[in-house]
Structure 1
């Protein structure tokens, strides 16, 4: 009970600082995933078209994923220096694997009969991709983005070691304090809450974009008319 009271007191006294670090933490995670999506989704589509490349690309992304986060930051820091840009780039690298794999899987699993139907209607390759493949694969791609965002929220906490800020700053302050359990929890709780909220929101979007969900909605509309 004393720890809970201490956490409440800390929040009441440092509400502005906690919110600032929360917002900073979220932006670093979101930008890392956003930039990764810009690269990884087209790359996933490319390797789905050229299956022989998939082994090499996914293996490289797997290797990046196995590098410890602190080691990654230490190497990138030597090249990019301290600050948020280094953290965002490291989060970008860690986000590549789930997005590439899910994009690849989603595109590869599209029914070939639908692709042939699109081609038979005179669609170009780009039109088939935009109007058939991406809509059908979007829920799987969204699942990759969901996984990437949750991963980056956790990893972003160590950005404090290179001066990037975020909720890791609060956790680090707690570890340096004599009795800092409440301060550590004051940083850890918002981090966990952010990850849970991100997972719920992205999971909702994933379900909304599911082809089965869209098909049911279309059927209900047709029955209503």
Structure 2
């Protein structure tokens, strides 16, 4: 059972790595190589692409761990931090994009007259990274090697609009909302379930349903780095067609 689960997990993350590397590499090339008239939305989307791409770059460690079981060292602590920092950077950036587009539609005159929208977008993106890194720094002791079960697991102790430009905005918001719900809802439900689950003394000899659910939902959350390309499509299509 354990071997089958680990193999399935390794294959699943391999698929995410290959697909994520392609779509996020293409997205970064489209943002950086093609000289477009940058907007605040482009800045948010670039931040999202960077978070996804960094997460993808470190997935080979997770794939290796699934097949060969990496030793519990400080490298594991760093890998856990990188994984969750970039996952939550993606979540918070997606939230920022949705809030930003809502405010633009709700208050169009004020949005057009505000001349520091790009600076504000950069500030929000930097704030996201600073907050996440700070949280990791504060709680780093909870993920030290002696507190890990395996290299990646810690011991247990939450209106449609009509014009073409607005259609693009609506498309971005809808795509972000769907990806957000599909990818991240199972993970946070599983996290809560595992928090309240009792772990038997012989946990190493069995895979608890709650534990399996957490691992599967974590993989689903990682697939977000592939599905964010839907949002890139809606944004870039508006500038390149």
TM-score (norm 2): 0.33
TM-score (norm 1): 0.35
Bigger CA radius of gyration: 1
Larger helix percent? 1
